[in-house]
Amino acid sequence: MAESEAIITEASVKEFEKQLSEKENALKLAEEKYLKRLVQEAREAGVEFKEEKELIEIGEKFGGKDHSTVLHSIKKVEERMSKENK
């Protein structure tokens, strides 16, 4: 047998299977993390959309103000309340 010919043994097949299994497990974990992240991002986007929609509705009820004006007003009130509680 020439030196360049590979000798396939039961031990080398088992080692290959072990390495393959480890790589498959790592891939599954990566996929799970990726899917969890996608779900989290979708949830965050939904909350953000809902909050912006609510700010728009509040603005409309206060004379057609922009949502950013409402947000600014909320921050000002929070700052004032924080100073009063000190």
- pLDDT at residue 69 in the model: 92
Distance of CA 45 to the CA centre of its chain: 10
In order of 6, 13, 47, 85, the CA distances from 50 in angstroms are 63, 55, 5, 30
Global pTM exceeds 0.85 = no
Domain boundaries, the chain: 10-84
- pLDDT digits over 1-46, tens only? 455 566 788 888 999 999 999 999 999 999 999 999 999 999 999 9
Residue 32 has, within 13 A of its CA and on its CB side, a CA count of: 6
What average pLDDT is seen over the chain? 89
